[in-house]
Amino acid sequence: MNILLLGSGGREHALAWKLAQSRICDKLYAAPGNPGIAEEAELASLDVTDHGAVTVFCEERRIGLVVIGPEAPLVDGLADTLRGAGFSVFGPSRAAAQLEGSKGFTKDLCERAGIPTGAYERVTSEAEAMAALGRFGAPVVIKADGLAAGKGVTVAMTVEEAEGAVRDIFGGKFGEAGAEAVIEEFLEGEEASFFALTDGSTIVPFGTAQDHKRVGEGDTGPNTGGMGAYSPAPVLTSLLRGEVIEKIIAPTVQTLAREGMPYSGVLYAGLMLTREGPKLIEYNCRFGDPECQVLMMRLESDLGEFLLACAENRLSTLQPPHFSHDTALTVVMAAQGYPGTPKKGGHIGGIAEAEAEGAKVFHAGTAVDASGGLAANGGRVLNVTARGGSVTDAQAKAYEAVDRVVFPEGFCRRDIGWREVEREAGSQSAKT
């Protein structure tokens, strides 16, 4: 069948790479795509906010499956429009995508379903927020309710910082996304991500990962969309994974179905592994970026079959997916200035050399420049991804590949995977 993939980042390049290998895929289209995705798919210039134009494209190209990569079109209800027109879609409805589109929606759902998460209050004005801060004290977490491109969350160590965050939100810094906010208990522990496919009834675990959100080495500096990730996350032991499914994922899927907004697509749970067990920090209604890149690097099953079965409500008919036991690790190469204003146009070379030893370089923010060469065109530019028998090994291979990439106006963290590398060194020395 023909498949249409929507999106243009490193996540979508990884999805395109696997979909192009799928037995069910005759022709892959992608919109708007990027130069890396163009190696796997025919690019179309579609505006995803124009639901009518996307529908016409699907009719004309006889699309059998639409895969929606990013959250914005899902929260905007594109999956509903396309399903209404008779197409199979991978991705949740507008109602179910509120799991990512509204922090308050998710917190209320957790309360109704008894899902472990931090204590919280929803507030709709600065005065209400300040009163709530008085009850929580510091440290405390302040979140703009809506989509804020990962920038709407402040983990405040002092009350002054928390008050500043509240003023930012209700002063309009996040526009509509900040008409409402959540004040939340600060959770302590290690963070990890859990992925599951669901068609609203069947739940298929689809890998674990850990990412590095801060721009600087040692997890310092401002937050970003993610500077690197690895999969699997060994901290999520099989015991903990069982607990996450039972106490967090299953009640979410069941409650949404019961309340008339069944979730179909990938559920990405951001977890805090606290002393009392795993607690939900947040849900995303799409694959993580760059977590998707490491999941796809390990996936040995046919991605297209899984996404189609999910879209057609028949996940229960598939065997569980196979993921390599190897670790995959990805290093994000970003343009100078990121996560502020990234410098555009920096020349990129050496990708073939980086891939010569088996690494895969996914394009995130790249463009073809006037001379036909490759140039930076975004904050996160490349995701240099490698596999190895351990995190230490995958890390070494990823950085070998990074060192072959020529991108003088870019930078990357040199310590992706450091927690696990330290733990592996510890267990190594414990053995000897």
- Which residue has tokens 């674990």? 208
What span, in angstroms and rounded, lies between the C-alpha atoms of 171 and 416? Answer: 36
Interaction between residue 153 and ligand AMP (CB under 6 A): yes
Name which of residues 342 to 401 contact ligand AMP (CB under 6 A).
Answer: none
Tokens (6 digits) for 281: 């920090």
The item of ligand GLY, ligand AMP, none sharing an interface with residue 225, based on CB under 5 to 8 Å by kind, is: ligand GLY
Residue 284 binding ligand GLY, by CB under 6 A? yes
Element (H, E) at 232: none
Please report whether residue 100 would count as binding ligand GLY according to CB under 6 A. no
CA-based end-to-end distance of the chain: 54
- When CB distances are held under 5 to 8 angstroms depending on the partner's kind, the choice from ligand GLY, ligand AMP, none that residue 191 binds is ligand AMP
Selected range binding ligand GLY among 36-44, 88-96, 283-291, 359-367, rule: CB under 6 A: 283-291
Number of residues that bind ligand AMP (CB under 6 A): 14
Residues 159-198 binding ligand AMP (CB under 6 A) are 184-187, 191
Which one of ligand AMP, ligand GLY, none is in contact with 118 (Cβ closer than 5 to 8 A by kind)?
Answer: ligand AMP
For ligand AMP, the closer of residues 19 and 141 by Cβ is 141
- Residue 108, both tokens: 């209320």
Considering only residues 209 through 238, tell me which ones interact with ligand GLY, judged by CB under 6 A: 211, 225-226
Closest to 265 in 3D by CA, of 13, 15, 2: 15
- 184 belongs to the binding site for ligand GLY (CB under 6 A): no
289 touching ligand GLY, by CB under 6 A? yes
Stretch that binds ligand GLY, among 163-171, 250-258, 281-289, 300-308 (CB under 6 A): 281-289
DSSP letter for 264, please: -
b/e map of 107-119 (b: 16 or more CB within 10 Å)? bebbeebebbbbe
Q: What is the dihedral of CA 35, 41, 45, 49, to 10 degrees?
A: -110
Phi and psi, residue 42, nearest 5°:
-85, 125
Q: Would you count residue 219 as binding ligand AMP (CB under 6 A)?
A: no
Burial of 257 (0-12, 13-18, 19+ CB in 10 A): middle
DSSP character at residue 125:
S
By CB under 6 A, tell whether 138 contacts ligand AMP: no
323 forms beta bridges with 299
Which residues of this protein are in contact with ligand GLY, per CB under 6 A? Answer: 211, 225-226, 284, 288-289, 291
Which residues of this protein are in contact with ligand AMP, per CB under 6 A? Answer: 118, 141, 143, 153, 155, 184-187, 191, 213, 270, 281-282
